[in-house]
Amino acid sequence: MSTSPVPPNDAPHAPEPPVPEPALTDFLLAHKLAAPGEVARWTPLAGGVSSDLWRVDLPGRSLCVKRALATLRFAADWQAPVSRNAYEWAWMRFAAEHRPESVPVLLAHDAEAGLFAMAYLPPERYPVWKAQLLDGEVKVATAAAVGEVLGSLHAASAGDAALAAEFATDENFHALRIEPYLLATAAAHPSLRDILQGLADRTATTHLALVHGDVSPKNILVGPLQPVLLDAECAWYGDPAFDLAFCLNHLLLKSLVVPGRRAELLRSARVLAEEYFRCADWEPRAALEARAASMLPALLLARVDGKSPVEYLTDDRRKQFVRTVASALLSAFAPTVEDVLDAWWAALEELATESRAV
């Protein structure tokens, strides 16, 4: 199978298209996703820090190929086992059984090579939620749909012993989430070390439902029917409160950089949480919500001082705002998500008042 057409003679300076490794083209041939001799154009897709992601255009069709990296693309040294690719594939198979409209169509998987292929979803029909939010396109209905999908998947997996055994990925989750988010942040904030260590220990020992592990707007496409979830490399049978807090965290952080849509972003966070809790029938709401409420400020702080800071928080004043509010919430336990959202909103209002006074 060839890779891509040679640029025409009248475009001598056109950049050479990327040529994939033979293992990638062999993968397509082995799984009959491409025929021998077919021309394939491989285009790297942006945004991947833990995997190589390619769009592959073949005659009359396109697909997406993903391969896990052993070393993540971060300034801080961050190693993670490539076996997570197989768990991501397994998570997507589970999700496809229960919410087929909320994951791409799955095509083929090679566990040994750490590769899988899935349908390519064109951005004109499946925009990335993160891009919409940063552009100020904040639709509360989208947040509600995300909360419902996430809650329904957690509910479908809760108490399932077979899933618990299949996704006993504690080592992966520690490497991808507990260490770089909670423990790295604890090292940066000695005064909060015991609190963050306690959250890490509690999370590691809570096993209630199948967790996606990276429910971030960058991994959610706004589909014509339902949100589509991607990038389940952190899949783990553990604490579902982590997923809820992880997603809410991003809505709060974006309210700092999209000030004209703060009210809608906070409303989105509230509605997402409520829709999620409507689905949560596996344990008392108070227990689930308390874990999410305590995890939320820890993740806020982690996205400033952990191993994976958000790229759009570049202003020192905003970073300090996150540190101040998150540290206060961690030190004074808030029992509900609503309490955390109220505290964040009040702090934003105070920040806005101070800015107007300057």
Q: How confident is the model over 232-255, as a mean pLDDT? A: 97
Give the orientation angle of helix 262-279 with respect to helix 285-305, to 10 degrees. 140
Helix (H/G/I), strand (E/B), else coil: 191: helix
Boundary of a domain, candidates 83, 100, 119:
119
Do 152 and 253 fall into the same domain?
Answer: yes
Tell me what percent of the residues of the chain surpass a pLDDT of 90: 79
Residue 308 lies in a domain: yes
pLDDT value for 55? 94
pLDDT band, residue 3 (cuts 50/70/90):
very low
Claim to verify: residue 193 and residue 273 sit in the same structural domain: yes
Structural domain for 248, as ranges: 129-357
Query: For residues 168 and 95, what is the distance between their CA atoms, to the nearest angstrom?
Result: 17
Please check whether residues 332 and 192 belong to one and the same domain. yes
Domain count, the chain: 2
Output the CA torsion 174→176→182→187 (10° steps): 100
13 belongs to a structural domain: no
In a domain, 58, yes or no: yes
Evaluate if residue 102 carries a pLDDT over 90: yes
- Identify whether residues 89 and 175 lie together within a single domain: no
pLDDT in tens, 268-282: 999 999 999 999 999
Asked whether residue 25 is domain-assigned, the answer is no
The answer to whether residues 189 and 111 belong to one domain is: no
Secondary-structure breakdown of the chain: helix, strand, coil percentages, each rounded to the nearest 5: 55, 15, 35
Please determine, for residue 71, whether its predicted confidence score (pLDDT) is greater than 70.
no
Spatial separation of the C-alpha atoms in residues 76 and 306, rounded to whole Å: 9
Q: Do residues 165 and 292 share a domain? A: yes
What CATH number corresponds to the domain at position 317?
A: 3.90.1200.10
Residues 221 and 87 in one domain: no
What integer pLDDT is reported at residue 33 of this predicted model?
Answer: 96
| CA gap 155, 36 in Å, rounded | 44
Residue 75 pLDDT more than 70?
Answer: no
Q: Which residues contact 310 (CB under 8 A, 6 or more apart)?
A: 250, 253, 303, 304
Residue 258 has pLDDT above 90, yes or no: yes
Residue 27 lies in a domain: no
Q: Which of 119, 152, 182 is the last residue of a domain?
A: 119
Confidence of residue 1 (pLDDT cuts 50, 70, 90): very low
What pLDDT is stored for residue 118 in this prediction? 96
Could you tell me the pLDDT band of residue 74, with boundaries at 50, 70 and 90?
Answer: very low
Residues 57, 187, single domain; the answer is no
pLDDT of residue 73: 45
> Is 282 in the same domain as 159?
yes
Residue 46 has pLDDT above 60, yes or no: yes
For residue 63, the cross-strand partners are 56, 119
Does 169 share its domain with 200?
yes
How far apart CA 94 and CA 40 sit, in angstroms, is 30
| Average pLDDT, integer, range 206-217 | 98
Which of helix, strand or coil describes residue 63? strand
Identify the pLDDT of residue 77.
46
pLDDT of residue 153: 98
Strand 236-238 to strand 220-222: parallel, antiparallel, or no bridges (unpaired)?
A: unpaired
> DSSP for 207-235?
--EEE-S---GGGEEE-SSSEEE---TT-
- What's the predicted TM-score (pTM) here? 0.90
Instruction: Please state, in angstroms and rounded to a whole number, the distance separating the CA atoms of residues 42 and 63.
Output: 10
* Residues sharing a CB contact under 8 Å with residue 152, sequence separation 6 or more, in sequence order: 98, 99, 279
Q: Are residues 59 and 168 in the same domain?
A: no
Does the structure show a pLDDT above 50 at 76? no
pLDDT band at residue 191, thresholds of 50, 70 and 90? very high
Is the model's pLDDT at 106 over the cut of 80? yes
Nearest to 176 by CA among 151, 203, 146: 203
| Burial call 170-185: b when 16+ CB within 10 Å, e when fewer | eebbbbbbbbbbbbbb
* Averaged pLDDT of the chain: 90
> SS in 3 state form for 240-309?
HHHHHHHHHHHHHHHHHHCHHHHHHHHHHHHHHHHHHHHHCCCCCHHHHHHHHHHHHHHHHHHHHHCCCC
Check residue 343 and give its pLDDT. 97
Domain assignment present for 31? no
In which band, very low, low, confident or very high, does the pLDDT at 358 lie, cut at 50, 70 and 90? Answer: low
Q: Is residue 282 part of a domain?
A: yes
Structure tokens at 146: 């995300």
Q: What pLDDT sits at residue 9?
A: 46
Residue 296 pLDDT > 80:
yes
Q: How confident is the model at residue 192 (pLDDT cuts 50, 70, 90)?
A: very high
Spatial distance between the Cα atoms of 82 and 70, rounded to a whole number of angstroms: 6
- The predicted pLDDT at position 6 comes to 36
- CATH number at 101 reads 3.30.200.20
Radius of gyration of the chain (CA): 21
Is residue 338 included in any domain, yes or no? yes
Domain boundary at 86, 119, 152, which?
A: 119
Of 37, 33, 4, nearest to 119 by C-alpha is 33
Same domain, 194 and 329: yes
- The pLDDT score that the predictor gives to residue 19 is 63
* pLDDT exceeds cutoff 80 at 355: no
